[in-house]
Amino acid sequence: MINTLILPERQNWESLCARPLLKRKEIEKSVRAILDDVKANGDPAIERYSTLFDGVHNLSLAISAEEISDAVNEVPEELKKAIDLAKNNIELFHRAQIKEDEIVETTKGVLCWRKSIPIERAGLYIPGGNAPLFSTVLMLGIPAVIAGCDEIILCTPPGKEGNVNSATLYAASLLGINKIYRVGGAQAIAAMAYGTATIPKANKIFGPGNQYVTMAKEVVQSEGTAIDMPAGPSEVMVIADNSAYPEFIAADLLSQAEHGPDSQVMLLSDDIGIIRDVKQCLYQQLPDLPGKDIAIRSLNKSNLILLPDLDACVTFSNIYAPEHLIIATGNALKLSEKVKNAGSVFLGNYSCESAGDYASGTNHTLPTNGYAAGYSGLSVDSYLKKITFQMISEEGLNKIGPAIETMAEAETLYGHRNAVTIRLKKINHE
């Protein structure tokens, strides 16, 4: 099952950080065919793929207000209370991200500022393959609402009976999202990228998904549709010392392994005893996991690694750039100061990754596959454009104008220089 590696050579760390290889060329070929079909044929193409991939047909793509109302009534009160609690925490955390724009006078008479403008139409993709991820509705929808997007559309795959999960619809209704469409996979990304008779074209597409969804997002991005980030198969890395609880770590590893067979989980430790005990706990907990068959396939691509010390563990982690990083050590807070690359970090024995997935308040839509080295997780800023403004008075142009003229002339851009010169002559009555 899971591999155990003892003190691997430093020159081998980069190769150990490589994710399981995907058949990108084959996936891209299939995805491009779907995208082209939806672009050319719209709703009929989507309906064909719904029949082919989801086994449903002759269903309206748009979810009606009546369906949403019925779904809200179907959700158990205990689950509603849990979703409400999560919603409140996520809202509290994300509202704190709103900052007032500041006007800066760079030179007397020269005022510069940025203004945050929300994306007009946000397209949200909610996965529904192995499990209906209604929590992702909260993670994507709440910052979109806080940012002030004019329109929010939501696509999610239907179940085998053609219905969308009732908790997904309840979460959407809590946020006031009512433009919901039963469509999943690459065809959903195509619909939001190009628009169809039923599904509006989005200015930016958000949300995680499988390899096909991720590839579809990458392709439409190359064609001009903005996306949030590359967010593919889930992953977790745990750094642990002898103060950690092996049963906790095993549970954390399995919590990510159950996402899908292409997920990857990793444990780094400076203590061979922890590695041995975690492996034993994995074998003990795995039989009770309903999705054990999926988890086993994920564990086959995963590693438990002994390294010389905790500093080496953090260095390895920064190379790997995990989506989720759990630091279960006695000095977790201090050690976390050395983290450079990670999507979201969980400190201490009781900060389980599941908390971030659901209810602590942080966002669970995060960069995977090493993209945490250059991308941040989803936030309110993801739904905002930052437009710069400037207002220059006569006094201001008099102060900076000569420098602009000199620089423009040095770059042989005489039209740029003249745009300043002609104004300076007017100001100075020349």
Catalytic, 218? Answer no
Q: Are 133 and 126 spatial neighbours (Cβ–Cβ below 8 Å)?
A: yes
CB 286 within 8 A of CB 295: yes
- Return the beta strands (E) in 150-297 as ranges: 151-156, 179-182, 204-206, 226-227, 235-240, 264-269
Token pair for 357: 């997935």
Q: At what angle do helices 134-147 and 77-95 cross, to 10 degrees?
A: 40
Options 47, 258, 323, 353, the catalytic residue: 323
User: Alpha helices, DSSP H only, in 148-242?
Assistant: 166-174, 185-194, 211-222
Q: Is 323 a catalytic residue?
A: yes
- 148, with CB counted inside 10 A (0-12, 13-18, 19+), is middle
How far is Cα 354 from Cα 82, in angstroms, rounded to an integer? 14
Q: Which residue of the set 235, 258, 259, 324 is catalytic?
A: 324
Residue 328 pairs in a beta bridge with 240
Phi and psi at residue 125, to the nearest 5°: -110, 125
- Are 288 and 325 within 8 A, CB to CB? no
Q: Which residues are catalytic?
A: 323-324
